[in-house]
Amino acid sequence: MPDTNGLDPSPSERPSETPPTPFYYYHGDIELQFYRRDPVSSLAPPQTPGPAPKTASDGDMEKQFDNLSVQDDAGGSPSSEPRKLKKKKVLLMGKSGSGKSSMRSIIFSNYVAKDTRRLGATIDVDLSQVKFLGNLTLNLWDCGGQDAFMENYLSQQRQHVFSNVGVLIYVFDIESRDLERDLLTYRSIIIALSQFSPTSSVYVLVHKMDLVVPHQREDIYSGRVQLIQSKSDNFNPIPFATSIWDQSLYKAWAEIIHDLVPNLGQIEHHLGSLGKLIQAEEVLLFERSSFLVVSSWCSDIGNENPTTDRYERLSNIIKNFKQTTSRFTGTPKSAEQFSLMELKLSNFSLFLVKFTTNTYLAVVLPPGEERFNAAMENCLIARAEFEDLDSPAKKGLDRGATSTEA
């Protein structure tokens, strides 16, 4: 496999920076090249000898990226008006023991599945604020599922709990022995939600699907979803079959978060423009901490990939790699264990790079060293434009605008 170190200027041209030292991981015939996070080094790896190739003529690519905001038809430039910090109230509800806290810990607290066994039952409401991208804060209400707490939510705290809800995530245990009672509780919650937050979105996670015999899963899941939909009144719940032991959890939560991200239309537009300019097959934007897919773009060739769950599989693999790196290096699980990962095979190439303050960018390309290096360089050129979309509140302050919390 060819070895490359990217396109950063040589040390003689940048004496104040020390190039990061690469280290390698071998698995069979596959070689992975990583660059440790270094605060005094560039995010780009050191330069290979020779001139840096580009997919466009000199100066053209920079000009195209400079004009990305102007080309965006969905609301104009992201900096054309003051931005507010967005706070979204997310209710996570379900009967006691259904797995709510376990999935929250895996997605947002970097737990591995086996470590969730030591989590105790949630008492009343476990309120946490999860910062997601630049100006989105998730007010995540993990509501205890014991009967006494449920009755309290639906009576004394009814307005407090169900007002201003952006998303309700209700978790059903597929092996519950009292399905009728579970559906009755769900129905009561739907009625309260329609009273105080009629425009909120509802997601239903049919959880612990790994406990069902494989050949019966589809039939049991479909039957359960039909029962749930019959109790949902005017809401149209979006169902997912989930388990903490596979990538299905990432698929569900990525879909949920996708609907909450501010500036999503502009992010998707910019990501598509970037993918076309660098002639990529696929481009994925991950949130830095949870590694949920914020947005993605796929070419016609990429759409031919038969692995439909590849995005959530990649989220799961990278998250486990980060946890393994944390364990062997002694760094916190929430830290950035790497700034660049490269994978080069005979039929495709991939790099995963620290992109903006809150995101990583994964790019899938056809094989070829020059194409790979050019795409890497041009992605680094495009970072500034995405940084503004990632943290529009900060950009608004830089331009003299006021930023308030909603």
pLDDT (tens digit per residue) in 318-372: 888 887 888 888 777 767 778 888 999 988 999 999 998 888 999 999 998 999 9
Higher-confidence position of 328 and 50: 328
Q: Same domain for 120 and 64? A: no
**Domain that includes residue 297, residue range:** 22-79+262-398
Q: Same domain for 68 and 185? A: no
Residue 6 lies in a domain: no
DSSP 71: H
pLDDT of residue 30: 52
DSSP 300: T
- The average pLDDT across 261-270 equals 85
When pLDDT is cut at 50, 70 and 90, the band that residue 117 belongs to is low
Structural domain total, the chain? 2
Residue 348 lies in a domain: yes
Q: Same domain for 204 and 345? A: no
Q: Same domain for 100 and 244? A: yes
Average per-residue pLDDT for the chain: 76
The residue among 239, 258, 277 that closes a domain is: 258
Q: Same domain for 241 and 131? A: yes
Q: Same domain for 36 and 63? A: yes
pLDDT of residue 51: 47
**Cβ(325)–Cβ(331) under 8 Å?**
yes
Residue 29 lies in a domain: yes
At residue 17, does pLDDT exceed 60?
no
At residue 58, does pLDDT exceed 60?
no
Q: Same domain for 350 and 277? A: yes
Each residue's pLDDT tens digit, 200-220: 999 999 999 999 999 999 999
**pTM metric for this prediction:** 0.70
Q: Same domain for 214 and 343? A: no
The residue among 222, 241, 258 that closes a domain is: 258
Helix 248-258 to helix 100-108 angle (10° resolution) is 80
Burial of 215 (0-12, 13-18, 19+ CB in 10 A): exposed
Partnered with residue 286 across adjacent β-strands are: 293, 360
The residue among 240, 258, 276 that closes a domain is: 258
Residue 406 lies in a domain: no
CATH of the domain at 237: 3.40.50.300
- SS3 of residue 305 by DSSP: coil
pLDDT of residue 81: 39
Q: Same domain for 183 and 106? A: yes
Rg of the chain (C-alpha set): 23
Q: Same domain for 179 and 75? A: no
Q: Same domain for 270 and 326? A: yes
When pLDDT is cut at 50, 70 and 90, the band that residue 223 belongs to is very high
